[in-house]
Amino acid sequence: MEFSGKVALVTGGAEGIGKGIVETLMAHGILGVAVLDINEEKGMETCKHFTSKYSDSKVEFFRCDVSEEESLKDTFFRAYQHFGRLDIVCNNAGIVDEYNWDRMLKTNLHAVIRGTYLAVELMGTKYGGNGGVVVNVSSIAGLLNQFSLCPVYCAAKYGVVGFTRSAAVSNMYARYQESCVE
């Protein structure tokens, strides 16, 4: 895929795998990246690092709690408005916290589903988009059933894999084409 002229949005982009995704996008000449994360300090630090390293591209931080529906929706739209487009959305944010399993499900599964639908909506022709790519990050726990210490985490990651596989072959994109939207 050619990245020049493209804009990406990465949830959980301030550190870890998300930061690595941002690094890869920046290294391949992407026009801009919206870094979404709940950790404002790390997010600002990450953007400052990439801004100084890659002066040709634009990276912006948006504080977002992906486990909160309104926060996720509002931040996707703010990022879209800031850059004027989205071409790539990477639903990467995730946590491991079996004691707070409800929040873990909201972060690891619900946010991926919502993020996918928001991405398809914003990249569809209704908002002037030309399509795009959605990448949903799971883990090996979504493919194997050998993580007995984290059953809810595994359930969420299995859900991400199942949802992504089903969404990839569904016709959900058609619902966001100009002719199909009220």
Model-level pTM?
A: 0.91
Q: In angstroms, rounded to a whole number, what is the distance separating the alpha carbons of residues 81 and 59?
A: 14
Q: What angle do CA 153, 20, 62 make, to 5 degrees?
A: 80
Q: What angle do helix axes 40-53 and 16-27 make, rounded to 10 degrees?
A: 20
Structure tokens at 8: 């990406």
Instruction: Say which of 153, 158, 173, 176 is annotated catalytic.
Output: 153
153 as an active site residue: the answer is: yes
d(CA 117, CA 138): 17
Using DSSP's 3-state secondary structure scheme, residue 177 falls into coil
pLDDT tens readout for residues 4-58: 899 999 999 999 999 999 999 999 999 999 999 999 999 999 999 999 999 877 9
